[in-house]
């Protein structure tokens, strides 16, 4: 560098005794909490360690994961459908979507799960056919809607209503000029949604959806309402009640939930980075896809931008 | 060939114009909220010519441009591009039918449009922006689309920026990518909606140079702009609009140097 950099100023920092005092107070409180956890024999950490690897518990973890990811997958598909219906020109579509969201957000998930469990009482037989007309295909409800499917559908339908609102917010966050530019290129509506609008909406959709997934992980413990009894909370509770050691088994469940949540957070981080590509100025999302040969923007410009003193929106109305 | 004296309806020797706008009205909203933006526009754009549309804000210039490629539905009148009625079909009995969105999309794909605010796809690189429509609309293979996109990006002087995302490009570079993106569909007509109005002054020149180059290559262009210098140098025909009507039109020399209308004189005094 040919530029002669000036010697930076040397000044004494402002004394901040409050920082030291507050740090010490908090550290003492933390030490007290750790002490309470480790030294109290009633926690029975040996039992925790034993049951953490118990086959029933691990199977419970597996079922919890199946319920979480299964219901989220169904819910995401339904949510995109509902959000698109909500924005449709067709008033029937808009009304149905509105009603669905109103109903499934407006009733407790517990009530909905009990209802799905009781479906076979309400409709012992289900059939496919013309409404009020002939039936083409009939089956016994209990054979098809087992406790597992009732739990999965119950969770998915409830979640779809919440996710639909998230997707709708994401779709509205995309500049209408994007769809217009795609239209001007001759792209059709379906393609514009899939290739242009949704990928950009994902930047807004992913963070709250990650939140919902983590929330769903714990909501699966409510499926005992169906009743579905193989997932983690029910499995650990049952062991706890049987062995008269409820607290260690609650800890077992909590540790597993924490572990899975941590993994989900890592996944969310990478998803956010992928869908943020092209939006964060300098950095590119996918490794190796950036331009070869280093910097894309003069470093100076980056620093000026980072100082936050410039206008963020280069598109402010210009009157020539 | 753009002299207004030649009425294309009677003059059989003149080739059919690329764009024929006849009696076009556009009303936004209904009832008391209705806004009459275009009030009977007639305009011919000859093949291979450059028409520059001038006018104050709110005069309806951009709306006219957006009607030509069906981004707005016209309220009355008719627009023909290359002999095709835009957005509608008249059957044997003379009854008008709205075209299926699929057909309208096909009509649009033959008209390139460049926007004031670029509207590049921010999640795609410059190269991917240019490749998108040829692959998704025309069904070109990725390899062919890529080859063509690289050619076009070279033509607008951005060979060294193909892997950049729009956020990593300056306004002038973004607008040049947007021009390449429109050209990738091999349009027979290019519409420019204030292409330099959102740019810093020092970046205007590079975009105008690309447009001038395009005009020289024989592209039919309609350009809404405030760049009087560009109009004088490149335009074959200049149109001045105010309050939804064409107030004056003609050769750039006549219109810009000897404006007949006081409204145009007033406008030029403000812009120059």
Please spell the DSSP secondary structure of B151-182, one letter per residue. Answer: HHHHHTT-GGGTT--GGGS-HHHHHHHHHHHH
Q: Reply yes or no on whether the pLDDT at A1 is more than 70.
A: no
Contact between chains at A290 and B163 (C-beta distance less than 8 A): yes
Higher-pLDDT residue of A210 and B11 is A210
Closest CA to A294 of A282, A304, A280, A306: A282
Question: How much is the pLDDT for A70?
Answer: 97
B34 alpha carbon, distance to own chain's centre: 26
Contact yes or no for A187 and B185 at CB 8 A: no
pLDDT at A2 over 70: no
Of all helices (H) and strands (E), which one includes residue B98?
Answer: strand B96-98
User: Residue A117: which of A85, A140, A151, A88 has the closest Cα?
Assistant: A151
Find, among B75, B70, B6, B80, the residue nearest to B39 by Cα.
Answer: B75
Interface mutation vs chain B, best among A175, A179, A186, A299, most B CBs within 10 Å: A186
**pLDDT confidence of residue B16:** 87
Mean pLDDT over the full length of chain A: 86
Of A195, A275, A278, the CB nearest to B165: A278
ω into residue A227 within 30 of 0, thus cis? yes
pLDDT surpasses 60 at A181: yes
Mean pLDDT, rounded, for A230-259: 94
Q: Report, as ranges of residue numbers, the positions in chain B whose pLDDT lies below 50.
A: 1-10
Cα atoms in the 13 Å half-sphere on the side-chain side of B38:
26
- Which chain B residues touch A186 with a CB distance below 8 Å? 105-106, 108-110, 133, 137, 185
> Quick one: which H or E segment has residue A219?
helix A198-219
Give the pLDDT band (50/70/90) at residue A303: low
% of chain A exceeding 90 in pLDDT: 68
Q: Scanning every residue of chain A, which has its alpha carbon at the shortest distance from the alpha carbon of B225?
A: A320
Please judge whether B123 and A281 are an interchain contact, meaning their C-beta atoms are less than 8 angstroms apart.
no
Mutation target among B165, B187, B188, B201 for the A interface, most CBs of A within 10 A: B165
With CB atoms and an 8 Å threshold, state whether B117 touches A296.
no
- Is the pLDDT score of A114 beyond 50? yes
Q: Which of chain A's residues have a Cβ under 8 Å away from the Cβ of B115?
A: 177, 180-181, 184
- pLDDT of A290 over the 60 cut: no
Summarize the confidence of residues A231-255 as an average pLDDT: 94
| Long-range CB contacts (within 8 A, 24+) of A195-199 | A195/B132, A195/B136, A196/B121, A197/A171, A198/A80, A198/A171, A199/A275, A199/B123
Q: pLDDT tens digit string along B158-178?
A: 999 999 999 999 999 999 999
How many residue pairs from chains A and B have C-beta atoms closer than 8 A? 101
Using a CB-CB cut-off of 8 Å, the residues of chain A touching B71 are 180, 183-184
Kindly tell me if the per-residue pLDDT of A112 is higher than 50: yes
Task: For B36-83, write each residue's pLDDT tens digit.
Answer: 999 999 999 999 999 999 999 889 999 999 999 999 999 999 999 999
Q: What is the pTM of this model?
A: 0.81
Chain B residues close to A196, C-beta within 8 Å: 121
Least confident of A66-75, A90-99, A150-159, A301-310: A301-310
Q: How far apart are CA B112 and CA B210, in angstroms?
A: 15
Name the band, by pLDDT with cuts 50, 70 and 90, for residue A42.
confident
Closest residue on chain B to A178 (Cα): B119
The whole-number pLDDT of residue A131 equals 81
Which residues from B are below 8 Å from A181, CB to CB?
113, 115, 119-121, 178
User: How far away is chain A from the Cα of B11, in angstroms, using its nearest Cα?
Assistant: 33
Please give, rounded to a whole number of angstroms, the shortest distance from the CA of A37 to a CA of chain B: 49
From the CB of residue B220, how many other CB atoms can be counted at a distance below 10 Å? 23
Return the structure tokens found at B163. Answer: 């892997």
pLDDT digits (tens, 9 = 90+) for A217-238: 999 999 999 989 999 999 999 9
So what's the pLDDT on residue A98? 96
> Residue A302's pLDDT band (boundaries 50, 70, 90)?
low
């Amino acid at each position: 560098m040919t530029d002669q950099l000036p010697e930076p100023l040397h000044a004494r920092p402002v004394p901040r005794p409050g920082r030291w005092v507050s740090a010490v107070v908090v550290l003492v409180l933390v030490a007290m909490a750790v002490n309470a956890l480790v030294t109290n024999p009633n926690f029975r950490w040996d039992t925790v360690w034993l049951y953490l690897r118990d086959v029933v518990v691990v199977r419970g973890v597996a079922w919890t994961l199946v319920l979480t990811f299964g219901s989220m997958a169904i819910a995401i598909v339904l949510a995109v459908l509902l959000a698109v219906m909500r924005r449709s020109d067709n008033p029937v579509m808009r009304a149905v979507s509105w009603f669905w969201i109103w109903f499934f957000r407006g009733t407790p998930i517990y009530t909905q799960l009990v209802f799905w469990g009781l479906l076979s009482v309400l409709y012992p037989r289900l059939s496919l056919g013309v409404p009020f007309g002939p039936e083409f295909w009939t089956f016994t409800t209990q054979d098809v809607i087992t406790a597992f499917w009732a739990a999965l559908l119950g969770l998915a339908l409830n979640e779809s209503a919440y996710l639909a609102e998230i997707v709708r917010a994401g779709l509205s966050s995309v500049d209408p000029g994007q769809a217009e530019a795609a239209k001007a290129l001759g792209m059709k509506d379906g393609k514009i949604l899939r290739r242009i609008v949704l990928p950009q909406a994902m930047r807004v959709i992913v963070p709250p959806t990650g939140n919902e997934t983590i929330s769903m992980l714990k909501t699966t413990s409510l499926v005992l309402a169906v009743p579905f009894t193989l997932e983690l909370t029910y499995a650990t509770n049952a062991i706890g009640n049987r062995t008269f050691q409820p607290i260690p088994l609650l800890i077992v469940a909590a540790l597993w939930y924490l572990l899975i949540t941590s993994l989900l957070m890592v996944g969310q981080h990478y998803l956010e980075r992928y869908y943020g590509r092209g939006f964060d100025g300098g950095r590119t999302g996918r490794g190796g896809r950036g331009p070869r040969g280093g910097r894309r923007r003069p470093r100076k410009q980056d620093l000026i931008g980072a100082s936050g003193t410039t206008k963020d929106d280069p598109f402010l109305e210009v009157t020539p | 060939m753009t002299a207004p004296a030649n009425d294309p309806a009677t003059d059989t020797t003149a080739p059919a114009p690329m764009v024929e706008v006849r009696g076009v009205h556009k009303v936004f909203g209904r009832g008391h909220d209705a806004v009459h933006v275009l009030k009977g526009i007639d305009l011919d754009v000859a093949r291979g010519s450059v028409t520059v549309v001038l006018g104050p804000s709110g005069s309806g210039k951009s709306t006219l441009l957006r009607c030509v490629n069906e981004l707005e539905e016209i309220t009355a009148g008719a627009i023909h591009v290359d002999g095709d009625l835009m957005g509608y079909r008249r059957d044997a009995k003379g009854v008008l039918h709205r075209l299926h969105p699929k057909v309208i999309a096909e009509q649009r794909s033959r008209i390139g449009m460049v926007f004031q605010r670029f509207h590049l796809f921010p999640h795609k690189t410059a190269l991917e922006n240019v490749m998108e429509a040829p692959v998704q609309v025309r069904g070109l293979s990725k390899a062919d689309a890529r080859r063509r996109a690289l050619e076009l990006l070279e033509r607008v002087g951005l060979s060294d920026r193909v892997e950049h995302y729009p956020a990593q490009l300056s306004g002038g570079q973004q607008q040049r990518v947007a021009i390449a993106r429109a050209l990738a569909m091999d349009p027979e007509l290019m519409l420019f909606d204030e292409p330099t109005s959102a740019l810093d002054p020092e970046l205007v020149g590079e975009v105008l140079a690309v447009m001038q180059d395009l005009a020289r290559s024989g592209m039919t262009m309609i350009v809404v702009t405030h760049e009087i210098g560009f109009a004088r140098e490149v335009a074959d025909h200049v149109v001045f609009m105010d309050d939804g009507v064409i107030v004056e039109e003609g050769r750039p020399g006549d219109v810009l140097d000897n404006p007949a209308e006081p409204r145009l004189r007033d406008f030029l005094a403000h812009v120059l």
